[in-house]
Chains A and B, each alone.
Chain A
Amino acid sequence: MSPVATDISARTTARTSAETLSEEDVALLRQDFPALAEIVNGEPLAYLDSGATAQRPRQVLGAERDFLIHSNAAVHRGAHTLAGLATEAYEDARATVADFVGAQADEIVWTSNATDALNLVAYGIANASHGRGGEPARRFALVAGDEIVVTEAEHHANLVPWQELAAVTGATLRYIPVDDNGVWDAAAAASVITSRTRVVAFAHVSNVTGFVAPVAEVVAVAHANGALVVLDACQSAPHRSLNLAELDVDFAAFSGHKMLGPTGIGVLYGRAELLNALPPFRTGGSMITTVTMEGADYLPAPQRFEAGTQPVSQAVALAEAVRYLQRVGLDRIEAREEELAERMLMGLAGIDGIRVVGQPLGSPRAGLVSFDVAGVHAHDVGQFLDAQGIAVRVGHHCAQPLHRRLGLTATTRASAYLYTTTGEVDRFIAAVAGVRPYFGVA
């Protein structure tokens, strides 16, 4: 065994169950996840694609079902009993999610997913740039010469909306470049953010490399230059304790389905002062105070962003997912995933022809690992693993510019969550070791 491996096992045993999840803890909580008992291609499912979407516990499935059976109604309209119950559940869910990320309830806007949340901000700024929202919205207005800054590692959801915003306002989109490993640092950010910068948007945790961004440093530089900070928290909110007020970001987005919740529900966080000044992106019913044939006045945030019938049962189920995560403990989940990522990295390091993208072993990394297998396309790698019941993500992971910068078109990604066992990681490593021999390139 290598010295590194000895260190890891020593550390794993040194952690108490208050600090991390033991195999016994994981075995117990797996009983809550019916999907994990599936047999795939004759083998027990090893689900290593939680970075794309997580499986859901019975508690979350049950909460949505119970709501639909006992309380289903449209919210914020109607006066009957179920309408009241539904509205209460919907707003309680908002308070639960707000508490989860260190926010106030009125700073949480329901969206259909994180992509939707990021578009809400980008199009709100576009509307402000076109004069909508009156005096309070002028702080957001962009003109030619203003700059929007993203990173070269962004998911397309946190890149394309900003490209569109630049195109419709005449602002310039600039980016923080990544290094040869696909990661960046605070110094690189500081060299791109200037007094012309009005918006800085970046992922808290990269969905490809697991890189954890230096949020505090970027926020300091951005705010010193008068720029707004938009945080893509899709890969952080499900996996680590998050306090958005402490991080001092201006906006943040995350999705329900990556954190044990349903699809069709996402969250936009915005500082209350900003949300109440940002013009709405979608308009219509339930977001107005007074409507005449000539115009309309809008409700305060968050309702001004929630036009139309809302995903109520999804919000209720997401709140149950949050309570589940809180019961297990986000710090324990983060510690456990860090151990699993190290186990993956060490295992892959022992296989010829594997190039892991991202920061080297020993640097902070969330619980996911993307890699290239020399001579074998990622789709073939994924197919080979799938035949053994191992589910991984293959492709560009909605981050084409990052892959292009790394000289790759596609990678294979394994991502862990609170229910991932070391046995699954070991099966994954053993299967990857068989890839190049099978395809005749080793």
Chain B
Amino acid sequence: MSDALAGLYQQVILDHSKQRTGFGELEHADAQRFERNPTCGDEITLQIDMEPGTDRIASLAWHGSGCSISQASASVLAGLAPGLTTVELHTTIDEFRTMMRSRGVGEPDEDLLGDAVVFQGVSKYVMRVKCAMLSWVALEGCLADVA
């Protein structure tokens, strides 16, 4: 087995794909988005609920089906987003997107991305970048809806 595969499927990713943070549905959601990757049929529904009277996310939940990369990415995002403001999340999403387009080059901002830095290995696999981006794109849509 190649070492490259271990770079793609880091243990954090494999763990998150099975112990999925935020998997489920919110009782109340301020925004909800459905995203689909037409090439593989992966899909996700992502919901956010805001802290009343603020632009801060109180909770994030998601459900759907997909590969380990898409599931782990949504799980990591669900651990990261609650407590952040929409402005902070936009910065985080931008940083994540930059990393995913990096083809593995450069140093992602770990303070900003936390566990999400493990997806830098995925950025070397052009065919899998969309898998990792799916939930982040859904969140971006939700943020637009609550803006």
- A interface, CB within 8 angstroms of B: 41-42, 376-380, 383-384, 387-388, 394-396, 400, 403, 409-410, 438-440
| Residue pair B67, A395 in contact (C-beta under 8 Å) | no
Known: A377-B66, A383-B8. A403 touches B18 (CB 8 A): no
Asked if B40 contacts A388 (CB within 8 A), the reply is no
Asked if residues A384 and B5 are in contact (CB atoms below 8 Å), the reply is yes
State which size class the interface on B falls in.
20 to 34
Q: Chain B: residues with CB nearer than 8 A to chain A?
A: 1-2, 4-5, 8-9, 14, 18, 39-43, 65-69, 125, 128, 131
Q: A379-B128, A380-B68 are in contact. Are A395 and B39 (CB under 8 A)?
A: yes
Instruction: Tally inter-chain residue pairs, CB-CB below 8 A.
Output: 55
Which among B1, B5, B41, B125 is the interface contact of A395 at CB below 8 angstroms? Answer: B41
When the two chains form their complex, are residues B125 and A394 in contact, meaning their CB atoms are under 8 A apart?
no
Known: A41-B4, A387-B1, A439-B14. A410 touches B128 (CB 8 A): no
Q: Are A400 and B128 also in contact (CB < 8 A) when A377-B68, A379-B67, A439-B68 are?
A: no
Whether the pair B65, A409 counts as a contact (CB closer than 8 A) is yes
CB atoms of B41 and A396 under 8 A apart: yes
Docked CA distance A337–B43 (Å)? 35
Q: Report the bound CA distance from A394 to B68 in whole Å.
A: 14
Q: Determine which of A376, A387, A395 lies in contact with B4 in the assembled complex, contact meaning CB atoms within 8 Å.
A: A387
Q: Name which of A383, A400, A409 has the most chain B CB atoms within 10 A of its CB.
A: A383
Distance of A384 Cα from B18 Cα, bound (Å): 17
What are 16 A-B contacts with C-beta separation under 8 Å? A42-B2, A378-B67, A379-B69, A380-B9, A380-B69, A383-B128, A387-B1, A388-B1, A395-B39, A395-B41, A409-B40, A409-B42, A409-B43, A409-B65, A410-B40, A440-B18
List residues of chain B with CB within 8 A of the CB of A438.
Answer: 1, 9
Question: What separation, in Å, do the CA atoms of A384 and B5 have in the docked complex?
Answer: 7
Tell me the minimal C-beta distance from B124 to chain A in angstroms: 12
Q: Does the CB pair B41–A400 fall under 8 Å? A: yes
Contact B2 A394 (CB under 8 A): no
Contact flag A409-B18 (CB < 8 Å), given A379-B131, A388-B1: no
Q: Which residue of B lies closest to A386 (CB)?
A: B5
Q: Write the nearest CB–CB distance from B12 to chain A, whole angstroms.
A: 13
**Are the CB atoms of A379 and B40 closer together than 8 Å?**
yes
Question: In the complex the two chains form, is A395's CB within 8 Å of B40's CB?
Answer: yes
The residues of B that contact A378 with a CB separation of less than 8 Å are 40, 67
Question: Which residue of B41, B43, B65, B125 contacts A383 across the interface (Cβ within 8 Å)?
Answer: B125
Min C-beta distance of B144 to chain A, whole Å: 27
Residue in A closest to B8 when the chains form the complex, CB atoms: A383
Q: Contacts of B2 on A, CB cut-off 8 Å?
A: 41-42, 387-388
